[in-house]
């Protein structure tokens, strides 16, 4: 099993630790480490602190993703989804929440605001060439493959 070092920041002892909510969950829930509630107005984006730092092993990233319940029921999402936390980042993890809805949404301390998935990273070697090999699709994009029924 992969080990990730977590440092809880001062003033967060009352917050639940990140955790998988089921035995086969892909993501761990992340909690808001707010000192006071924060209200997101419709269309507004704010950085929400989580109260922890971490050290990922080289070759891995943490992806911060929206929680499906908040997205469906409250129209709250993670703006840069998935947000990437690199293995060499050591600052506090923050979640960029956006209110895509029409009603204000208030984030409370200890509220589950996002999920974090740990994933391997493949580092690519870039080879700059004059021509690319042909493919069946070619340069078509944005719907060029048609609708499949």
Residues in binding site for substrate = 67-69, 80, 84-86
Q: With the C-alpha atoms ordered 112, 2, 118, 60, is the resulting torsion angle positive or negative?
A: positive
Residues belonging to the binding site are 67-69, 80, 84-86
> 137, 63 in Cβ contact below 8 A?
no
Question: 62 is written with which tokens?
Answer: 């943490």
Spatial separation of the C-alpha atoms in residues 19 and 7, rounded to whole Å: 14
What string of DSSP letters covers 74-115?
A: H-EEETTSSEEE-TT--S--EEEEEE-SSS-EEEPTT-EEEE
């Amino acid at each position: 099993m992969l080990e990730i070092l977590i440092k809880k920041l001062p003033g967060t002892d009352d917050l639940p630790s990140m955790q998988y909510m089921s035995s086969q969950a892909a993501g761990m829930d992340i909690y808001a480490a707010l000192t006071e509630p924060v209200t997101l107005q419709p269309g507004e984006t704010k950085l929400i602190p989580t109260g922890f730092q971490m050290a990922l092993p080289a070759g891995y990233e943490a992806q911060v993703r929206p929680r499906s319940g908040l997205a469906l029921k409250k129209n709250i999402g993670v703006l840069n989804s998935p947000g990437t936390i690199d293995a060499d980042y050591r600052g506090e993890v923050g979640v960029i929440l956006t209110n895509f809805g029409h009603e204000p949404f208030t984030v409370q301390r200890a509220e589950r605001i996002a999920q974090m998935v740990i994933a391997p990273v493949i580092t690519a070697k870039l080879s700059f060439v004059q021509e690319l090999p042909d493919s069946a699709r070619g340069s078509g994009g944005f719907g060029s493959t048609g609708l499949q029924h």
